Structures are given as C-alpha cells and as structure tokens.
Structure 1
Amino acid sequence: MIPKKKLVAITIWLILNVIIFWFVGLVSSGYSLEGYLPGQSDRVEWYAPVVHTTPGDEPMGILYMVDRHGTIYYYIVWQDEYFSNSLIDKLYRFLRGLVYGGATEDIEVVRVNPNNGTFYFQTYRHTAIHGKLFPNGSCVLADENSIIQNCSVNGTHLRMYVVTWNHMLSLNPEAGTKGTFLPMRRMSPDDYVSLGMFRRTQKTIGGVTVSALGVAVAATLLLNGVLYWAWRRGYLTEENRRKARKGTKSAVRDTWDSLIRELKR
C-alpha cells in the first residue's frame, strides 16, 4: 500500500502538471478549450468582405470572430450547397452531416489581418490563397506574386466572387454573380456549437493549436526537470522541508518582532 504522504505528493504533482500544461497552452494560443476565438476588434465593419454570388444562391449572412492579435475571421454562411446531380448531392450532404456533426450549412472563411493588410481564403479545389491589401484598392497574391486591380472597396473590403457550386471564392470577377448585402454579427458560442465549427476550423486554427501545445509540453517538461533536479539535490526531502518551514517561521517571527519594535518607538 502506498504511504499517505507519498500518495499526496503524487496527486499534487499530477494536478500541477495538468494546470501548467493547459494554462500555458491556452495563454500562448488565445483560444478557449473548444477553439472559440475570444478577441474583439473595432475594425470588423471596416474589413468585412463584399460577396458576389449567383442570384438565388445568396448566403444567410456573415459571422465573425477575432483572435487575440486582432486578426478577423469572417465566416460566410450558406444554408446549404447543392450539386447538380441529385444522387451525388444527397450522398454528399449525408457525408457532410456526418463530418460536421449534423450541421449541413456551408461555410467559407475569409481571414483578414488589419494590422498588416494580409488576408486568406480558399479558391478552386480548396487551394489556399494568401495575399496583401493596398490602400489603392489593389491586392498582391503571395504565392503567384501577381497583382489584382480593384480587388477591394476603399482598400479594406475584399471583393469576393463565388466561382464554384460549393462556394469557393476568388478575387477575379465571375460572370453571372451579383453583389449582395449580408447581415453580420459576432459568432456566439451557440452558433459555434450548432454549426460544428470546431471540426470546420481545425485546419484554420491547427497551426496555432499545434504551436500552443508545443509550448505547453515544453513548459511541463521544464517544470518536471526543475522538480527532478530539486529532488536529486535533496531539496525535497522531509528534513529539508522541515528546515524550510522552520526558516520561514523564523523569518516571519523576526519581521513581526521588528515591526512591533518600530511601533513602540
């Protein structure tokens, strides 16, 4: 049977490891445990994308979240997406329901960093597009090193054109599309859960999550390294703990006595 003191020590060690791991992970990422972005920004309205889509296939609206660095994530939400072949369409929607936990809404993300004008979205075949906004309304695409004129309104609102049946986006004008006004609001925790956003945003926040967990693992290993060093040097023995307690009590008593002497003067 494990001695009571040893069991208490192991319990404290485990609790300390869990606290350090999750605290460091969450602080370094800025995300909650579920991946919900907690930030706020007064520039959300300034950078909202202008969506051009086929008449009759308009999105329901835009939800947004902001990370702790001020980067804004705009989620353009359609009620669903439909493939031209009815049989494939039914199968596709069924599989999407399984993947996203029953949610069948189609959501496309546009990410904008107002601090440096950079942006991200996905186009044909889910290819990631990274670029930068300029005040004159033009954009430069990082991967292609090409400039697109008149890609934004006032140098902030990206002009997004729907170019595929499943609502992939492009900065190049698409025939048959039309700009539409979309209501916008902050994504609530209820929206986040009902839309299955944790599964949808794994690729978007994956890099931050992996990085944060790496920092958390490093901090936890450092903690255990310090504890092991202290144990090997004998600082954690019962005798040394008694000396430490005695020394602390003595220091407190001396400080108190000095304070009393000063007050009596």
Structure 2
Amino acid sequence: MVSKKWVAIWLILNFLIFWFVGLASSGYSMEGYLPGESERIEHYTPLVYTSPDDKPVGILYMVDYDGTLYYYIVWEDEYFSNSLIDKLYRFLRGLIYGGATQDIEVVSVNPDNGTFYFQTYEHTDVHGKLLEDGTCLWIEEDKVIPDCTVNETHIKVYVVTWNHMLSLIPESGTEMAVLPMRHMTPADYVALGMFRRTQKTIGGVAISSLFLAVIATLVFNGFFYWAWRRGYLTKESQRRARKETKRTLSDSWDSLMRKLKR
C-alpha cells in the first residue's frame, strides 16, 4: 500500500512538472505567467506604412523561448468597398475569432540570424533576411529589396491590400504611422482571439509546449509507476530503507572509530 505521503508528493510533482515544462518551453516567464521579454524589442520594431485614413491603433508584441520577436499590428477593423459584403464579412470574422473583429497582421523577426516573416497578397508567406547594407533578401523571390530597413534592423512594411496584407515594396499613397507599442497580455490574447487566428506563431508555441508538458508528465508517471511496482514507495520498503540507512551509518561510524583507536 502506497503511503499518503507519496500520494501527496505524486500529485504535487505532477502539477509542478506539467506547468513548469509547459511554461519554460513556451518562453513564458514565471513572474505572473506572462510572455517572455527581450531587450531587443525596441531595436527591431517594424515601421508600418499605411493609408492615412486607415491607420493601425498600435502594436502588441510577444517573445518566444528562442528569442524570436513577434509584432502584432492591430487595426480596429477591416473595411471592404461594398457595404453589404463588408457587414457579412465582419459577421463571419466575429464568429471565427470568438467575437473579435479587429484585424491583426504579424511581423516576426529573429535577431540572432536576421530573418523575418510576414504575409503579403492572398496570405502568401514572405520570408526574408536583413542584410548589412540596409537591404533585404526576399527569399521566395530570390530578390534583394533596397532601402527596406532603418538602421539595418527596423524593417519597413507597406500595407498593400484592403485587408492589410503587407509588402516590402513601397506602396504609393502610404505614409509611416507612429504607433504605440506594448506587451501583449493574457487578456489581450483572449480578447483578440489570438489562438484561433494562427497556429504557426503563438498558437503553435502553446500547442508544442503543452505537448512537451504532457510527455514530461507521462515520463514522470511511468517512473513513479515503476518505483511503485518494485515496492520502493510502500511503508514497508521505507522502513527497510530507513533501517538500511541507519545500519550503514552505524557501520561506517564503528569502522571510523576502530581506525581512530589503532
């Protein structure tokens, strides 16, 4: 029979292992379970060029476990040219994103290797690399884009569609928007329906972290079950272990005393 003490230890360790592995692997800090921080956030903030009458309300950021920076550019909404389609589209987006109708575009930057990512026309992925002369390599097109950064770190992105898809190519009629930026909180994450919006960035991090947490917990329970089957967790085995420890200590002490008397 397993003692109550070991049952309590088993429950506590299950809880601690699951959440520690999940949080640590996702990049979340232990101070309030908030997403990770980075001193590079201000250094790599993207510069957003958009229509003067359709400016974003701000940028929310997060940092993952590997130090990749995620900048979420937030608009209050998307506006299509046809009012009927616009209302229908807004209704459907509200259903999909749990009531949130804000439009969000992400720009991610990895400072360690100078790579970045966002989406352009028809939600096509754009992967690029920041170059030392202030230009950018557009990997999919194998094309070098001149003057695409400021200080070789702040990438310039231009809004090119009504639903705020981005491009490295300057767009006429756009101007740089000065945007407030702050850390994305758990409340923001839930209110904006972020988990439903993407499985490749923060959603993907959450899924992979929970998977690792489940694996770690199962491994621990497998070890615990093995120890229980071998009888290491029963009261009798604990008594034998204590007796064995006392006998070992006693024998060691007696041996030491005999050597000192010689």
CA distance in 2, matches of 1:27, 1:251: 40
CA distance in 2, matches of 1:119, 1:209: 21
Indicate the SS of the match to 2:94.
Answer: helix
Q: CA deviation at 1:222?
A: 2.0
Offset from partner CA, 1:134-184 (integer Å, 9 cap, x none): 121111123333322221122111110111110010111122222222222
Look up the equivalent residue of 1:183 and give its one-letter code. P
Q: CA deviation at 1:84?
A: 1.4
The range that moved more, 212-221 or 10-19, is: 10-19
**Partner residue in 1 for 2:259:** none
**Partner residue in 1 for 2:127:** 130
Look up the equivalent residue of 1:48 and give its one-letter code. T
**Partner residue in 2 for 1:74:** 71
- Which of 118, 127, 147 is the aligned partner of 1:150? 147
CA distance in 2, matches of 1:133, 1:32: 28
Look up the equivalent residue of 2:157 and give its one-letter code. M
Q: CA deviation at 1:6?
A: 7.6
Kept in 2: contact 1:162–1:170 (CA 8 A): yes
Whether 1:90 aligns to 2:92 is no
**Stretches of structure 1 lacking an aligned partner (at least 5 in a row):** 256-265
State the Cα RMSD in Å. 3.1
1:194–1:227 distance in 2 versus 1, CA, 3 Å = closer
Spell out the pairing of 1:168-247 with structure 2 (5 A cutoff).
168-247=165-244
Indicate the SS of the match to 2:62.
Answer: strand
CA distance in 2, matches of 1:144, 1:254: 76
Look up the equivalent residue of 2:69 and give its one-letter code. I
Look up the equivalent residue of 1:171 and give its one-letter code. L
Indicate the SS of the match to 2:22.
Answer: helix
CA distance in 1, matches of 2:149, 2:221: 52
1:251–1:109 distance in 2 versus 1, CA, 3 Å = farther
CA distance in 2, matches of 1:151, 1:214: 38
Kept in 1: contact 2:195–2:203 (CA 8 A): no
Offset from partner CA, 1:87-116 (integer Å, 9 cap, x none): 111111112122222222111111112222
The range that moved more, 189-198 or 104-113, is: 189-198
Q: CA deviation at 1:133?
A: 0.5
**Partner residue in 1 for 2:20:** 23
**Partner residue in 1 for 2:256:** none
Under a length normalisation based on structure 1, what TM-score does the superposition of the two structures give? 0.80
Kept in 2: contact 1:64–1:187 (CA 8 A): yes
Using the aligned pairs only, state the percent identity: 67
1:133–1:240 distance in 2 versus 1, CA, 3 Å = same
Indicate the SS of the match to 1:164.
Answer: coil
Q: CA deviation at 1:55?
A: 2.3
Kept in 1: contact 2:134–2:152 (CA 8 A): yes
Indicate the SS of the match to 1:203.
Answer: coil
**Partner residue in 2 for 1:99:** 96
Indicate the SS of the match to 1:147.
Answer: strand
CA distance in 1, matches of 2:148, 2:36: 27
Look up the equivalent residue of 1:17 and give its one-letter code. N
CA distance in 1, matches of 2:228, 2:243: 19
CA distance in 2, matches of 1:128, 1:223: 40
Size of the alignment, in residue pairs?
A: 252
1:187–1:222 distance in 2 versus 1, CA, 3 Å = closer
**Partner residue in 1 for 2:110:** 113
